[in-house]
């Protein structure tokens, strides 16, 4: 089942809808079987100027992300053919589009696993459309921040090189596949190499808010970054400073 809701169908002004519909960065993919949830969310996002595609099974979602580019994707876990975890895991080696898991499940294991396999965030249902929009806007700010001034400079420190414009990362000549969230975290740490960055500061930069009490998402993303770096270098790049945060060793 494929349901495409374009901005021209919303209550937004026509001139705004036209300008948004021509922008690839305003396309959102939702893969979810709960029609009421996805339709409400799609209607809200459409009114905000996004073009929304709704699919209801994992295989269709995987095929869609292989042939079309999106600004962000929202996956439920409990979808047929491929569940949300499998969909994310299969697409991640080739597609770094920001992805958010939305689910009624609130198990810590699910949250940790989602982050480990490349999710940028995990939101429990029932979702608040405005919260989803805020998360999407945070993703937009992260990406646009690295693309300002047309010709952003690369960052190169301690065997790592970040191509800011292309949002690509390399270590000793080998490309490492970082998610959008991971790239933003690593970029922030490298820009402030040698300085201890608290989880609050990292979270404020990446998400536009301080870390929630007992939140482990930053820890999990940094763990993922370390694993990807370790595949090509045994030298420590990011040091944990107990009770204070993290520091990139420049």
- pLDDT, tens digit, 9 for 90 and up, residues 188-205: 999 999 999 998 888 887
Return the percentage of the chain with pLDDT > 70, whole number: 81
User: If you average pLDDT over every residue of the chain, what do you get?
Assistant: 83
C-alpha distances in angstroms, 82 versus 54, 76, 95, 131, 208? 16, 11, 17, 26, 32
Res. 10: pLDDT tops 80: no
The domains located in the chain, with CATH, are 2-145 (3.40.50.2300), 155-248 (1.10.10.10)
Question: In the sheet where 174-176 sits, what is the strand order?
Answer: 155-157, 160-163, 168-171, 174-176
Angle (CA) 231 237 239, round 5°:
125
Contact of 240 with 199, CB cutoff 8 Å = no
Dihedral, CA of residue 194, residue 196, residue 201 and residue 206, to nearest 10: 50
Residue 165 burial by Cβ neighbours in a 10 Å radius (0-12, 13-18, 19+):
middle
Provide the pLDDT for residue 224.
92
Q: Considering only CA atoms, which of 39, 97, 92 is closest in space to residue 70?
A: 97
Banded model confidence at residue 152, pLDDT cuts 50, 70, 90: low
Q: What is the mean pLDDT of residues 22-42?
A: 84
Q: What is the mean pLDDT of residues 5-22?
A: 33
| β-pair type (51-55, 2-5) | antiparallel
Res. 97: pLDDT tops 50: yes
Q: What is the mean pLDDT of residues 166-174?
A: 90
Q: What is the mean pLDDT of residues 221-230?
A: 94
Res. 109: pLDDT tops 60: yes
Q: What is the mean pLDDT of residues 89-108?
A: 88
Provide the pLDDT for residue 47.
94
Provide the pLDDT for residue 214.
55
Res. 208: pLDDT tops 70: no
Q: How far apart are CA 46 and CA 57, in angstroms?
A: 21
| β-pair type (155-157, 174-176) | unpaired
Q: Which stretch of 7-11, 18-22, 238-242 has the lowest confidence by average pLDDT?
A: 18-22
Q: Which stretch of 77-91, 107-121, 146-160 has the lowest confidence by average pLDDT?
A: 146-160
Provide the pLDDT for residue 143.
62
**Range list of H helices, 146-194:** 180-191
Q: What is the mean pLDDT of residues 66-94?
A: 92
Provide the pLDDT for residue 83.
96
Banded model confidence at residue 158, pLDDT cuts 50, 70, 90: very high
Res. 51: pLDDT tops 50: yes
Q: How far apart are CA 164 and CA 143, in angstroms?
A: 9
């Amino acid at each position: 089942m494929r349901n495409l809701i374009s901005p021209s169908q919303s209550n937004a002004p026509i001139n705004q809808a036209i300008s948004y519909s021509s922008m690839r960065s305003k396309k959102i993919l939702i893969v979810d079987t709960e029609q009421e949830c996805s339709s409400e969310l799609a209607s809200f996002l459409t009114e905000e100027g996004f073009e929304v595609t709704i699919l209801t099974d994992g295989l269709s979602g995987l095929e869609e992300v292989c042939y079309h580019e999106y600004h962000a994707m929202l996956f439920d876990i409990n979808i047929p053919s491929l569940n949300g975890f499998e969909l994310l895991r299969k697409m991640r080696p080739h597609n770094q589009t920001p992805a958010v898991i939305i689910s009624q499940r609130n198990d810590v294991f699910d949250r940790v696993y989602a982050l480990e396999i490349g999710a940028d965030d995990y939101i429990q249902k029932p979702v608040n459309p405005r919260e989803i929009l805020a998360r999407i806007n945070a993703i937009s700010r992260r990406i646009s921040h690295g693309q300002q001034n047309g010709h952003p400079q690369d960052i190169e420190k301690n065997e790592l090189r970040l191509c800011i414009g292309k949002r690509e990362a390399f270590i000793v000549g080998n490309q490492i596949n970082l998610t959008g969230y991971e790239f933003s975290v690593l970029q922030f740490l490298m820009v402030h190499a040698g300085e201890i960055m608290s989880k609050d500061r990292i979270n404020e930069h990446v998400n536009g808010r301080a870390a929630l009490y007992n939140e482990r998402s930053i820890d999990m993303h940094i763990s993922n970054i370390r694993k990807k770096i370790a595949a090509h270098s045994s030298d420590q790049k990011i040091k944990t400073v107990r009770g204070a945060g993290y520091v990139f060793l420049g």
